[in-house]
Amino acid sequence: TIAYLNGEFVPLEQARISPLDRGFLFGDGIYEVIPSYAGKMVGFSQHMARFAKGLAAIEIDYKIDRDEWQTLVQRLIDDNRETLGDNIGVYLHVSRGADTRRYHAYPEGVTPTVFGFAFALSAPVKADRHAHPGASVSLAEDLRWERCHIKSTALLGNVMHFQQSVKEGNAETLLYNHQGEITEASSSNVFIIKDGKAFTPPLDNQLLPGITRMLVLECLKIAGIEVSEEVITVGELLAADEVWITSSGKEILPIVKVGDNQIGDGKVGEIWEKVFSVYSEQKFVL
């Protein structure tokens, strides 16, 4: 596959960075993942806006030119379609760069490392609840840091939470804070449906402002379903009629089991089908 590194397109196997890169030594960087289907990207502008915000939050002086990046990302998709197929995710990463010292302070005068590569995504599923078995997830206390709104490349906390779900044979780990409130999942956001109404936790430092979350909020409005961004307790989650997790790679994944608890009737819900069908139609235009 063809990757992008510091201004050049290179075969991925030939891409090289310094071991002194602070992305490697400290996880000092910001990343994005943009999904695309048959060459068309989902949420490109929204991803770029979040990328720029993240870089500003950690004071990496790198200006993202939206149009330039659109061309760059589109080329990573187009040039890799033959090998990767129609469903492609593009990973973009800017780390602070290589410093000669291993010193915590942000160094002056280093050049950020800019990296992008394409990988195969799984094909989108059909918006048919009878054809979808639903997924199961683990549940754990959120033990990550308190800056989860920043899409940092330092993902060890998320990785450790995700690994729990792997060990338990589940698709993800849903997380709750000290107060027993759902924050998000290790690599996705969470929605519930109760009595025909949708709920998702409000944006704050405890969760990533997911682009899919943002698009799903739009789709709920288009579908005429009332939605509220408000605190969801573990009890409310377990008593929900439907639970979904959302991310660029998973789109909207319906959950039918959380830990040992069955959600609703244990089948994928009607509202998922309705909203996912709107999402499937609207995702390229929102």
Residues that bind ligand PLP (CB under 6 A): 33, 158, 184, 187-189, 208, 210-213, 246-248
User: Among residues 107 and 249, whose Cβ is nearest to ligand PLP?
Assistant: 249
CB of 18 to ligand PLP, least distance (A): 26
Say how far apart CA 216 and CA 28 lie, in whole Å. Answer: 30
Instruction: Point out the catalytic residue in the list 151, 167, 221, 274.
Output: 151
User: Among residues 136 and 248, whose Cβ is nearest to ligand PLP?
Assistant: 248
Q: How many CB atoms lie within 10 A of CB 156?
A: 10
Query: 3-class SS at 37?
Result: strand
CB of 65 to ligand PLP, least distance (A): 21
Say how far apart CA 119 and CA 109 lie, in whole Å. Answer: 32
Q: How many CB atoms lie within 10 A of CB 232?
A: 23
Under DSSP, the state recorded for 89 is E
User: Among residues 113 and 189, whose Cβ is nearest to ligand PLP?
Assistant: 189
CB of 249 to ligand PLP, least distance (A): 7
User: Among residues 84 and 214, whose Cβ is nearest to ligand PLP?
Assistant: 214
Active site residue 194: no
Pull the structure tokens for residue 7.
């201004």
- Single-letter residue type at 277: S
CB of 14 to ligand PLP, least distance (A): 27
Query: 3-class SS at 43?
Result: coil
Which residues are designated catalytic?
151
